[in-house]
Amino acid sequence: MDMKQSIVKLLVQPSRGLVDEKFIVLVQKARPGFQLTVHALHKCEIGHSWEAFGHYISNAIGTVNVSEDPSLGGTYSGVEQMGLLWSLRPVPGSKPGLRLRKTNVQTPMEVTISVYQGHQTEGFMDQVPLASALVERWYMAPGVRRIPITEDGLTATLFLPPGPGPFPGLLDLWGGEGKLLEYRAALLASYGIASLGLDYLTPKITMETGKLMDTQYFETAYRVLEQHPQVLSSRIGMLGLSLGASMTLKMAVYSQVIKLKCAVCISGSHVQPIDGSLQQFLNFCRKNAGKRCINKDNEMIIRGLLLPIPTDPTLKVDVGQLKCPLLLVLGDDDQNWPAQESALDMKQMMERAGNSHLLTVLLYPNAGHLIEPPYTPHLRASPFNSVQADEEVMALWGGEMVAHSRAQEDAWRKTLDFLRENLFSGTNPAKQLKRHQLIDPVENLEGWMCKKHDKLLELFCEKNQVCVCVF
């Protein structure tokens, strides 16, 4: 084929987007009925290459639209608008168990989308594509400000949305590996929430003194938000994943200082010694280490650690005392933490206590433990170095790729809705008025209303010249 005569055009829109935004990948000017591979390549911050690809056949006018056409094979199949991102996997030859996480959120994730001739499955780097485009995926929207927080012994980063504020606030916590991961907090700030990413396991002060932090540390972080001139002190929420969820539940119920407007727990459990410190929790986990098991692939299933769900009330957070809305996000194939059993137990506790109206549970079939922002590649197992652990293990997170990716997308949208509902609305007359059709202000509105049923009258009797109630 003479390349010079038929130049394939590739368009990806938006070429610069937030990581949770969908994009359209359009191939045009190919020959009709032609076999093409659409390929994504990403080189991560630590230098590993990740790729994804789909096999397509161009239509009668030589077009492939990834949002509408089915992939016939590759790392994903079927009509999958975002498959090129969520099915990314380390290129052949990479070491096993790699995890894709952005540490520098001030630069975008760059993905090269290319079109190759034919249905290819390997050797992409040795070929010249027909066309390619570069796409930027950002965790930070323009104008979001990143502010490292080191006062009062904290190791944290605050992300402020653009604009005058004041903004609702959020404490953002990750899991048992520690470190300060900023990307989710940066993304939440891009949606108008002043978010504080907090390192509570390996902050500078712990690394220097060897002492784990505790409730006071979280309360200090909360105060930073509460007292910030651009944060609405009465609208602060908390979001935690895995061990972060355990901390969130503990603070929500027991802290005298932290007053949450709402809480989100992803892949979390309420099981923990409630009178104890964080150190004691880790000791409790260490004590039960024998309940973990290893599967035939040498992957460690940790969920047994907290099972069975204790009946002893000192070993689980009394969610019956919760006073704010709680959103639980979990997968039924979570092999790391007994999120499903915990959710069931929490629901029963709240029903008994009479506050179950505060609870929303999102349980995703075949989703695993690491429910991340959308289009993050699914990871079934990876090396896990939990703080104070004796050794690094290959932890099994669980989940099946397609179902897990769907779960991430849906959970994120619902999490944003939940946060908006609870942190932005408050008493919002607009919501009640949604059912009510607006009319010109009228005099004598009483004449239009039925006094008994307090509803607008709809029928008028011509004969008697009076409104009639039919309710």
3-state DSSP assignment of residue 323: coil
Active site residue 87: no
3-state DSSP assignment of residue 259: coil
Strand order across the 326-331 sheet: 145-149, 156-160, 194-198, 167-173, 231-241, 262-266, 326-331, 359-364
229 part of the interface to another protein, by CB under 8 A: no
CB atoms within 10 A of CB 67: 13
458 part of the interface to another protein, by CB under 8 A: yes
14 part of the interface to another protein, by CB under 8 A: yes
440 part of the interface to another protein, by CB under 8 A: yes
Nearest to 97 by CA among 397, 368, 375, 469: 397
Binding-site member from 24, 72, 134, 294 for another protein (CB under 8 A): 134
135 part of the interface to another protein, by CB under 8 A: yes
**Rounded Cα distance, 450 and 408, in Å:** 49
For residues 144 and 159, the answer to whether their CB atoms sit within 8 Å is yes
Binding-site member from 118, 428, 447, 469 for another protein (CB under 8 A): 428
Q: Which stretch binds another protein (CB under 8 A): 107-115, 261-269, 346-354, 365-373?
A: 107-115
| Site track 25-44 with another protein (rule: CB under 8 A), x = hit | ----x---------------
Nearest to 376 by CA among 351, 350, 345, 397: 397
Shortest spacing between CB 404 and another protein, in angstroms: 27
Sequence-distant (6+) residues with CB within 8 A of 361 are 328, 330, 343, 347
By C-beta, is 145 or 286 nearer to another protein? 145
CB atoms within 10 A of CB 298: 10
Binding-site member from 98, 133, 344, 389 for another protein (CB under 8 A): 133
142 part of the interface to another protein, by CB under 8 A: yes
By C-beta, is 103 or 107 nearer to another protein? 107
Catalytic residue among 334, 342, 378, 405: 334
In the chain, how many H helices and how many E strands?
A: 9, 23
207 part of the interface to another protein, by CB under 8 A: no
Active site residue 255: no
Active site residue 369: yes
Nearest to 396 by CA among 364, 368, 363: 368
Q: Which stretch binds another protein (CB under 8 A): 8-16, 180-188, 200-208, 404-412?
A: 8-16
Catalytic residue among 242, 246, 269, 342: 242
Nearest to 338 by CA among 355, 363, 314, 319: 363
Tell me the catalytic residues: 242, 334, 369
Q: Binding residues for another protein, per CB under 8 A? A: 3-7, 9-10, 13-18, 21, 29, 110, 112, 114, 128-136, 138, 141-143, 162-164, 168, 190, 192, 232, 420, 424-430, 433-434, 436-441, 448, 456-463, 467-468
